Amino acid sequence: MHNQPVQRQLKTTSFLPAKQQPLVRGDALRSVTIGFPAQVKHEPKRVHFDPPLRARLVGPDEGQSTECEVTTVWDAGAQLRVKDPPPAQFVLQFAWAPTVVARLCRRTRCNGEEVWVEYIKQPPCYSMKDDQR
CB atoms within 10 A of CB 110: 14
Distance (Å) of CA 84 to CA 32, 51, 111: 54, 20, 11
Q: What is the pLDDT of residue 133?
A: 45
CB 69 within 8 A of CB 115: no
pLDDT at 59: 85
Instruction: Identify the pLDDT of residue 124.
Output: 73
Distance, in Å, from the CA atom of 84 to the CA atom of 89, rounded to the nearest integer, reads: 14
d(CA 68, CA 82): 5
Give 10-residue mean pLDDT values along the chain (133 residues). 55 51 50 59 79 89 85 92 90 78 91 93 72 49
From the DSSP assignment, how many helices (H) and strands (E) are in the chain? 0, 6
Contacts of residue 45, defined as CB under 8 A and 6 or more positions apart, other chains included, come to: 74, 75
pTM: 0.58
Tell me which CATH homologous superfamily contains domain 52-119.
predicted glycosyltransferase like domains (2.40.10.220)
Look up residue 21 and give its amino acid: Q
Rounded CA-CA distance 91/56 in Å is 8
Q: Quote the pLDDT of residue 121.
A: 87
